[in-house]
């Protein structure tokens, strides 16, 4: 895990000093060393966090002596050992034990198509002097970031947006007004290739980028497609692939721990690690004698998942760390968290992840496994219940529809089941509009954004059913991208690598080939993973039907120290002059929430976070 950056302007002098400054901005991503390469037309920078082969043989940029290729790599290729054996059979020789050298050999052997052979998370760039070409790529789901700006034949790229502050060629960073409005009004972000900064984009997941004398070209190398259901028992296949996904992500030469919320996904990871520790000790060596787990909790009714996390700890004999913080604690570190993330984010639940990652690093862990992606891959969100019913209704299977509604009523209550049924026949566009109106988000839009257009959500789904179409939307546009953004920034802020087994592409392809009833059935989401791991998970966790989603008591905090802090921000002249948020509306809604006359949602956080982000990145930039 590392930080990468570079500038390519073909046939021009290398901008090595600018790249050095950009690399300094990424120091937290790689505290174990830095490295640089420059030649006519290109300058590359790297910060290293040593994970595999801790020797200097893994330093980057990584050079291929015969061809002059230069590679900077952020991430891990988990199947590097298997690829290395294949490449050695083809005559390649290796001088390190790194996955980085395997990437370079794979590029030499298979060219740009090499990425289709990788199982992992990555953002890398290869300078090929033979063709005066830069080739860059990002993993299938965008676990690792890659940002770039391309203007008049000049490419600037980096792992984080803050590095672009060091590039004086374009002046201070400027806000992308349409993205800011999307966030404030529609609660959307990371839903397009655009960022909160004008002119800077992100390389889409599952894409590669090439810059040469013909210009810049983007190429998609993988897509989620319709596949035939698997032959044999699909649940057993899910089990085998999930075990292997975790097994591969335990490969490291440093200590590995687990983020444990108590939900099904993180519990599945922790319990599988324990299973491997007991049955395949050699493969689980980086875990140590006892698995280290890290759990956030809050002594607020409805926000404490410790009973479920305790069930996992007791079953696995893990060595747990319990992490909590108050609204006063949050206010004191908010500037650091905002700086870490580069862009505004959805809610204070993201801040909980920041505290968990800090605790893991302080405990001596360098790699953390997390359950991120489980809801998106195996249909874990409540919104998937009406999507499943819509498919059943569309097939005219009235008796099955009645049974599923009855099962939901038995678990959630008649009122909840009725609301699910209502959502089954409500158009998504109307539902989104009504949600924005109910939350008051539309009224929060300030004068500076009133005439700015928002983005439509365009989702291509190859699937004919409502369930997998919605799953695709959440996986690629509305949900997972923003969560992965937060996962990367929270972990890397503390020089920590986060790995997500649920996003092994083999497991994703399998999950999206399953029948709807294997994903959602009655009141139960994630049926396949529950069934596959029923002998591994504690019974209380496997049977959970509630969904907290790593929630924090945000509403409570806005009636305490966080609310007082927000009140000061909303009353400031800088907030009013900025014009992103209507100050009178923000103050009125905060006051109504604090006196209990309304229960404000995430919109108060978005108003506050927007201003904190603007102060950090748009006002008096630090270079």
Tell me the percentage of the chain whose pLDDT exceeds 70. Answer: 93
Residue entry with tokens 């270079």: 623
Q: 399 in a domain, yes or no?
A: no
Is pLDDT above 70 for 422? no
Q: Which residue has the higher pLDDT, 502 or 525?
A: 502
Q: 127 in a domain, yes or no?
A: yes
Report phi then psi at 375, rounded to 5. -65, -40
pTM, two decimal places = 0.94
Is pLDDT above 60 for 430? no
Across 83-87, 408-412, 478-482, least confident range: 408-412
Query: How far is the C-alpha of 569 from the C-alpha of 176, rounded, in Å?
Result: 22
Give the tokens for residue 118. 């990788």
What confidence tier does 10 reach under pLDDT thresholds 50, 70, 90?
A: very high
Do 211 and 77 sit in the same domain of this protein? yes
Do 476 and 329 sit in the same domain of this protein? yes
Do 487 and 523 sit in the same domain of this protein? yes
Per-residue pLDDT, averaged over 274-282, amounts to 94
Q: Which residue has the higher pLDDT, 405 or 130?
A: 130
Last residue in a domain, options 173, 197, 220: 220
Q: What is the CATH number of the domain that holds 485?
A: 3.40.50.620
Query: How far is the C-alpha of 585 from the C-alpha of 281, rounded, in Å?
Result: 58
**Antiparallel, parallel or unpaired: β 70-77 and 367-369:** unpaired
459-480 pLDDT tens trace: 788 999 989 999 999 999 988 9
Q: 418 in a domain, yes or no?
A: no
Cβ atoms of 621 and 173 within 8 Å: the answer is yes
Q: 522 in a domain, yes or no?
A: yes
**Helix/strand/coil (H/E/C) assignment for every residue in 268-336:** HHHHHHHHHHHHCCCCCHHHCCCCEEEEECCCCCCCCCHHHHHHHHHHHCCEEEEECCCHHHHHHHHHH
Across 272-281, 323-332, 358-367, 439-448, least confident range: 439-448
Do 265 and 296 sit in the same domain of this protein? yes
Give the tokens for residue 617. 């990145």
N-term to C-term CA, the chain: 24
Give the tokens for residue 451. 């005439």
Last residue in a domain, options 489, 516, 542: 542
Confidence (pLDDT) at 333? 96
Is pLDDT above 50 for 623? no
Q: What value, to the nearest 5°, has the Cα angle with vertex 180 and ends 210 and 566? A: 135
Confidence (pLDDT) at 622? 41
The dihedral region occupied by 262, where left means phi > 0, alpha psi between -120 and 50, and beta the remainder, is left
Is pLDDT above 90 for 539? yes
Q: What is the CATH number of the domain that holds 71?
A: 3.60.20.10
Do 256 and 199 sit in the same domain of this protein? no
With a CB cutoff of 8 Å and minimum separation 6, the contacts of 41 are: 8, 9, 10, 11, 12, 14, 132
Report phi then psi at 516, rounded to 5. -55, -35
Cβ atoms of 339 and 162 within 8 Å: the answer is yes
Do 511 and 533 sit in the same domain of this protein? yes
Confidence (pLDDT) at 102? 97
Q: 76 in a domain, yes or no?
A: yes
Do 207 and 277 sit in the same domain of this protein? no
As a whole number of angstroms, the longest Cα–Cα distance in the chain is: 72
What confidence tier does 414 reach under pLDDT thresholds 50, 70, 90?
A: low
Give the SS3 label for residue 521: strand
2, 5, 114, 351: the catalytic one is 2
Give the SS3 label for residue 460: coil
How crowded is residue 458: how many other Cβ atoms within 10 Å of its Cβ?
A: 9
Last residue in a domain, options 542, 564, 591: 542
Give the SS3 label for residue 136: strand
Per-residue pLDDT, averaged over 180-190, amounts to 93
Query: How far is the C-alpha of 128 from the C-alpha of 539, rounded, in Å?
Result: 54
Do 569 and 513 sit in the same domain of this protein? no
Q: 447 in a domain, yes or no?
A: no
Confidence (pLDDT) at 621? 47
**Antiparallel, parallel or unpaired: β 367-369 and 497-499:** parallel
Q: Give the CA dihedral 14, 19, 20, 25, nearest 10 degrees.
A: 180
Query: How far is the C-alpha of 372 from the C-alpha of 259, rounded, in Å?
Result: 10
Confidence (pLDDT) at 384? 87
Is pLDDT above 90 for 330? yes
601 is in which domain, residue-wise? Answer: 554-617
What confidence tier does 441 reach under pLDDT thresholds 50, 70, 90?
A: confident
Report phi then psi at 602, rounded to 5. -70, -10
Q: 442 in a domain, yes or no?
A: no
Residue entry with tokens 């060393």: 33
What burial class does residue 596 get, using C-beta atoms within 10 Å of its C-beta: 0-12 exposed, 13-18 middle, 19+ buried? exposed
Is 2 annotated as catalytic?
yes
Do 26 and 107 sit in the same domain of this protein? yes
Query: How far is the C-alpha of 499 from the C-alpha of 516, rounded, in Å?
Result: 27
Is pLDDT above 90 for 383? no
110-124 pLDDT tens trace: 999 999 999 999 999
The candidate with the shortest Cα–Cα distance to 77, out of 150, 129, 144, 24, is: 144
What confidence tier does 377 reach under pLDDT thresholds 50, 70, 90?
A: very high
Is pLDDT above 90 for 483? yes
Do 147 and 253 sit in the same domain of this protein? no
User: Sign of dihedral through CA atoms 260, 548, 537, 308?
Assistant: positive
What does each C-alpha distance from 559 to 298, 299, 337, 600 come to in angstroms? 16, 16, 21, 11
Give the SS3 label for residue 220: strand
Do 564 and 538 sit in the same domain of this protein? no
How crowded is residue 173: how many other Cβ atoms within 10 Å of its Cβ?
A: 21
Query: Which letter does DSSP use for residue 70 in this model?
Result: E
Q: 265 in a domain, yes or no?
A: yes
Number of domains in the chain: 3
Give the tokens for residue 549. 């989603």
Do 524 and 607 sit in the same domain of this protein? no
189-230 pLDDT tens trace: 899 999 999 999 999 999 999 999 999 999 999 999 999 888
Query: How far is the C-alpha of 477 from the C-alpha of 533, rounded, in Å?
Result: 29
């Amino acid at each position: 895990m590392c930080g990468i950056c570079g500038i390519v302007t073909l046939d021009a002098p290398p901008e090595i000093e600018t790249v050095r400054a950009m690399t300094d901005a990424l120091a937290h991503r790689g505290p174990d060393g830095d490295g640089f390469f420059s030649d006519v037309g290109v300058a590359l920078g790297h910060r290293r966090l040593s994970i595999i082969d801790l020797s200097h043989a893994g330093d980057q940029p990584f050079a291929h002596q015969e061809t002059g290729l230069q590679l900077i790599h952020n991430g891990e290729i988990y199947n590097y050992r298997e690829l290395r054996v294949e490449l050695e059979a083809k005559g390649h020789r290796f001088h390190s034990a790194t996955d980085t050298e395997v990437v370079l050999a794979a590029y030499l052997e298979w060219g740009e198509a090499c990425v289709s052979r990788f199982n992992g998370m990555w953002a890398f760039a290869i300078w090929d002097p033979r063709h005066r070409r830069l080739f860059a790529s990002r993993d299938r789901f965008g676990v690792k970031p890659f940002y770039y700006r391309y203007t008049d034949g000049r490419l600037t790229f980096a792992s984080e947006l803050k590095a672009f502050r060091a590039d004086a060629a374009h002046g201070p960073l400027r806000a992308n007004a349409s993205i800011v409005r999307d966030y404030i009004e529609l609660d959307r972000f990371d839903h397009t290739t655009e960022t909160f900064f004008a002119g800077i984009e992100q390389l889409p997941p599952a894409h590669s980028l090439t810059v040469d004398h013909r210009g810049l070209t983007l190429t998609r190398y993988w897509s989620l497609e319709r596949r035939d259901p698997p032959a044999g028992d699909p649940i057993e296949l899910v089990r085998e692939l999930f075990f292997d996904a975790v097994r591969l992500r335990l490969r490291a030469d440093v200590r590995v721990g687990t983020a444990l919320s108590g939900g099904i996904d993180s519990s599945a990871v922790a319990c599988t690690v324990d299973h491997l520790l007991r049955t395949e000790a050699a493969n689980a060596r980086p875990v140590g004698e006892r698995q280290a787990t890290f759990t956030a909790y809050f002594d607020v009714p409805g926000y404490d998942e410790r009973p479920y996390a305790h069930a996992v700890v007791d079953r696995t004999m893990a060595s747990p760390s319990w992490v909590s913080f108050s609204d006063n604690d949050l206010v004191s570190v908010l500037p650091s968290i905002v700086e870490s993330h580069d862009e505004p984010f959805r809610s204070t639940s993201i801040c909980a992840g920041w505290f968990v990652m800090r605790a893991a690093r302080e405990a001596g862990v360098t790699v953390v496994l997390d359950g991120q992606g489980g809801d998106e891959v195996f249909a874990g969100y409540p919104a998937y219940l009406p999507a499943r019913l819509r498919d059943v209704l569309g097939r005219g299977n009235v008796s099955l529809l009645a049974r599923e509604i009855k099962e939901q009523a038995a678990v959630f209550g008649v009122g909840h089941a009725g609301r699910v049924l209502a959502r089954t026949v409500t158009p998504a566009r109307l539902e989104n509009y009504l949600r924005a109106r109910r939350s008051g988000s539309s009224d929060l839009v300030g004068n500076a954004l009133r005439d700015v257009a928002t983005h439509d959500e365009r989702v291509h789904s190859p699937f004919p059913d409502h369930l997998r179409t919605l799953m695709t939307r959440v996986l690629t546009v509305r949900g997972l991208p923003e969560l992965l953004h937060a996962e990367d920034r929270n972990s890397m802020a503390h020089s920590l690598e986060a790995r997500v087994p649920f996003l092994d592409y083999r497991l994703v392809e399998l999950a999206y080939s399953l029948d709807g009833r294997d994903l959602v059935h009655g009141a139960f989401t994630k049926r396949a993973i529950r069934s596959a791991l029923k002998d591994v998970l504690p019974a209380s966790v496997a049977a959970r039907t509630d969904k907290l989603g790593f929630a924090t008591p945000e509403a409570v905090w806005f009636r305490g120290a966080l609310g007082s802090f927000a009140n000061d921000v909303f009353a400031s002249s800088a907030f009013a002059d900025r014009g992103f948020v209507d100050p009178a509306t923000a103050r009125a809604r905060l006051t109504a929430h604090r006196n209990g006359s309304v229960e404000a949602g995430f919109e108060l956080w978005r108003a506050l976070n927007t201003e904190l982000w603007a102060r950090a990145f748009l006002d008096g930039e630090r270079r």
